[in-house]
Structure 1
Amino acid sequence: MAVMTSRNVAKTLGAGALLLVAPGCMSGARNLGAATTPVGTTEVGVSVNTLAFERGRERAYLPNPELTFRKGAGENWDWGGRLTLLGLELGTRHRLVDHSPWTLSLAPSAGVWYVPVTNNSTEPVNFRLGAQALVDYRLGRRWTLTGGASLMGGLAGPLTVFQGRFNGASVLVSPGGSLGVAYRLSPSLELRAEGGLEFPFDVREGRRQPGG
């Protein structure tokens, strides 16, 4: 993830948008650390993700590039989101504890997106609302380990939900977790590798296959 002034944001957004060549749903990993963006600074990142999910009796994989952005809004909070070709999630991040080497933050978010897979347990339209707790542990000047725990509630259904018809829609509760490691190449550039899992539960029909 790159940290830069607002003058460079438009150029970076344009370059990142070129990578948004495949539709995809939001991943379980949020590609976020617990440290909030400094006031007056904008962070822009490009994530090259892959979603793994059950399709019938086989495991399927879906490319899911994402463009992320964060804007420092206060001493202990920022706002931002992530964008795919057919999805958008927006939220804030609030730093609750910052005591070296630990940082703890809470990141509520809301999102909507289209899932381009078809099986008996996947609806194309998804609305979600929830939050993630993030914990950073700084291993050194360049390395940071990040753990996350999330709880998301959502509505998933067919395209007719946009017409106010909710037949076939499902109410989902999805606890999840993530683990990542970040390496800071320079004061304005960071690389992050992260994996995440979610365990969706249909309020009416019970547990579904996990995704990650």
Structure 2
Amino acid sequence: MGVSLNAIAFERGRERAYLPMPELTFRKGAGENWDWGGRLTLLGLELGTRHRLLDTPSWTVSLAPSAGVWYVPVTNNYTEPVNLRLGGQALVDYRLGRAWTLTGGASLMGSVAGPLTMFQGRFAGTHLLASPGGSLGIAYRLSPSLEVRAEGGFELPFDLGGGRRQMAGHAGLTFRWRRADGGRARARVPRPAPARRAP
């Protein structure tokens, strides 16, 4: 389990605006090399899995596919408050020592963004977006069961029918805890999201 205190940056009119975005994350081991979990914010829900491809005392390389639904009322330059997202991240953890871990990630998300009438079967004004992004974070283990992580990242959305849109970013702190007898932490690095970084 974890709690994140994040902020997202997004375009509002011709200026940049910032919005606090608290987040609850959870993960549960499902096998020797994979787990599942999700994150819940004030504006959406994402569920996904994490599959470890390489796991050594110093390095962990993982793939983390996910799917989610988000309500984005802050993107007033576009009439697309509903975002259905599908994609994934490639994550690399490097353990600097017994307490410190550095994590880098690269992501690619696909989105169907449109008005609320999508739920009525009317898709006028709907757009397809592709959003590559990246993140970088560092974590410090305060105790065997408690970790604090600082992380920042960005997304660069492209409208597949209309060109590039404004970049969105996120930054924040995450406090994550687990049972002390649960073995080495396997939880996914928390990211923007998309709720943290406006789609």
Which whole-Å CA distance do the structure 2 matches of 1:86 and 1:195 have between them? 19
Q: 1:103 to 1:122 in 2, by over 3 A?
A: farther
- More helix as a share of residues: 1
Greater relative contact order (Cα < 8 A, sep 6+): 2
Matched position secondary structure for 1:161: helix
Matched position secondary structure for 1:162: helix
Which whole-Å CA distance do the structure 2 matches of 1:139 and 1:85 have between them? 34
Where does the alignment leave 5 or more consecutive residues of structure 2 unmatched? 170-199
Amino acid at match of 1:208: R
Alignment equivalent of 1:144, drawn from 97, 101, 114: 101
Q: TM-score, normalised by structure 1?
A: 0.78
Tell me if 1:94 matches 2:94.
no
Deviations 1:25-55 (A, max 9, x none): xxxxxxxxxxxxxxxxxxx000011000121
Alignment equivalent of 1:109, drawn from 45, 50, 66: 66
Q: 1:204 to 1:87 in 2, by over 3 A?
A: same
Q: Which residues of 2 match residues 1-212 of structure 1 at below 5 A?
A: 44-121=1-78, 123-212=80-169
Where does the alignment leave 5 or more consecutive residues of structure 1 unmatched? 1-43
Aligned positions, number: 169
- More strand as a share of residues: 2
Matched position secondary structure for 2:117: helix
Which whole-Å CA distance do the structure 2 matches of 1:190 and 1:100 have between them? 18
Partner of 1:5: none
CA shift for structure 1 position 75: 0.5
Partner of 2:173: none
Which whole-Å CA distance do the structure 2 matches of 1:123 and 1:195 have between them? 25
CA shift for structure 1 position 62: 1.0
Deviations 1:80-119 (A, max 9, x none): 0000123100000000001231110000000001012142
CA RMSD across the alignment: 0.9
Which whole-Å CA distance do the structure 1 matches of 2:77 and 2:18 have between them? 17
Would you say the 8 A contact 2:44–2:68 is kept in 1?
Answer: yes
- Runs of 4+ in structure 1 over 6 Å off: none
Q: Percent identity?
A: 82
Which whole-Å CA distance do the structure 1 matches of 2:129 and 2:43 have between them? 20
